[in-house]
Amino acid sequence: MRGDTPAVGTLRLLTPGPGRSALALAHPNIALVKYWGKRDERLVLPWTSSLSMTLDVFPTTTWVRLDPSLTRDRVTLNGAPATDEALHRVTAFLELVREIAGRDRRAVVDTSNTVATGAGLASSASGFAALAVAATAAYGLRLHPTALSRLARRGSGSASRSVFGGFAVWHAGRDTDAAEEADLASYAEPVPAADLDPALVVAVVDSGAKAVSSREAMRRTVATSPLFRPWAAASRGDLDTMRAALQRGDLAAVGDIAERNALGMHAAMLAARPAVRYLSPDTIAVLDCVLQLRRDGVAAYSTMDAGPNVKVLCHRADAEQVAEAVRVAAPQATVFVAGPGPGARLLSEGS
Ligand code: 2P0
């Protein structure tokens, strides 16, 4: 990766710290206006801007320790040695951090998710946000939150948003051929919101790993789906109207936009060739339940990511009623209530 990352120098908004080892914590986020599709795979630049809520559940903790005796990085994921794609992604990310820090030393990384990895519950968002915080601290870097968000983006696009708590927007940035300029312009930042009293009821209908990774599914959707570009165009409008709805504290409008944006994203995936279908009969049962809740006067709105699980946006005061209705509609689902959570943070560091 060295030598082909001209934009890295621009991340040097830092002062050196002590380094050596660090422990960090980050929470997943759920997008209300989705990120789906990259215009640049290497720099992880998205086609469209996205907007999310960071959760207060399912955190990832990541410990990074520099070890002079190692010739390659050693990565443990949920207690087992990481292999293949997961190992490659973490090592490539550490290469990027080493390049910024001007250091060669390899690292031991130990990371644990409190939710099933790869089940469409944003474990890569919390994972790379926590890794960005822990690795930069271990290598003695202190990054501005904007630079940290841009760095986390290189690990996994949605991780750029988990750097921040509450609602965050990830800017797609400028469409330019200049890699450094494009990289600089694509980062997340907090979004002003009136008090919405929001909750997300998370219905885990299937916690197994997905058949098609979101990375591959995005690639296929962009390359083959005739519905991708219309969805992307609509998504730009969705972002503007959602920002306005957040500012005036209009949860019904936020939910309405989130639901149509997610359904549009899945429609684009279904039109890919071959089709990417994450939605299952249990997903549809929860979607029907949410429609019925709305008919009964409860403000509840569905969103789904790269998997069959459904997250239902509602007022905190209605969350238990919504959770109970979802449990009845999908009895085998595990249902959690989440609220807005904090941004990624350093828990401790040692030398
Ligand atoms: C999102 N998702 O906005 C969208 C909606 C899933 C559906 O971000 O390839 O793991 O690592 O940049 O961030 C999942 O994709 O993808 C995702 P990469 P990521 O939350």
pLDDT tens digits, one per residue of 162-209 = 999 999 999 999 877 788 899 999 999 999 999 999 999 999 998 777
Range from 57-61, 122-126, 327-331 that averages highest in pLDDT = 327-331
- Would you state the pLDDT for residue 178? 85
Average pLDDT for 142-153: 97
At 122, the pLDDT band (50, 70, 90 cuts) reads low
pLDDT of 278 over the 60 cut: yes
Nearest-atom number in ligand 1 for the CA of 156 is 11
| CA 321–ligand 1 middle distance (angstroms) | 29
Nearest-atom number in ligand 1 for the CA of 158 is 13
- Would you state the pLDDT for residue 28? 95
| CA 222–ligand 1 middle distance (angstroms) | 14
At 351, the pLDDT band (50, 70, 90 cuts) reads confident
Nearest-atom number in ligand 1 for the CA of 215 is 9
Nearest-atom number in ligand 1 for the CA of 218 is 9
pLDDT of 286 over the 60 cut: yes
pLDDT tens digits, one per residue of 65-78 = 999 999 999 999 99
* Residues of the chain above pLDDT 70, percent: 92
Pocket test for ligand 1, best of 158, 220, 269, 276 (most atoms within 8 A of CB): 158
Q: Whose CA is nearest to atom 20 of ligand 1?
A: 31
Average pLDDT for 243-271: 98
Pocket test for ligand 1, best of 50, 156, 222, 276 (most atoms within 8 A of CB): 156
Q: Whose CA is nearest to atom 12 of ligand 1?
A: 157
Ordered structural domains, the chain, with CATH: 10-194 (3.30.230.10), 198-338 (3.30.70.890)
pLDDT of 9 over the 50 cut: no
Ligand 1 cavity residues, CB under 6 Å:
31, 34-36, 44, 50, 124-125, 156-158, 214-215, 305-306
At 115, the pLDDT band (50, 70, 90 cuts) reads low
Give the predicted TM-score (pTM) of the model.
Answer: 0.93
| CA 162–ligand 1 middle distance (angstroms) | 12
- How far is it, in rounded angstroms, from Cα 274 to Cα 276? 7
Average pLDDT for 8-12: 37
Q: Whose CA is nearest to atom 11 of ligand 1?
A: 156
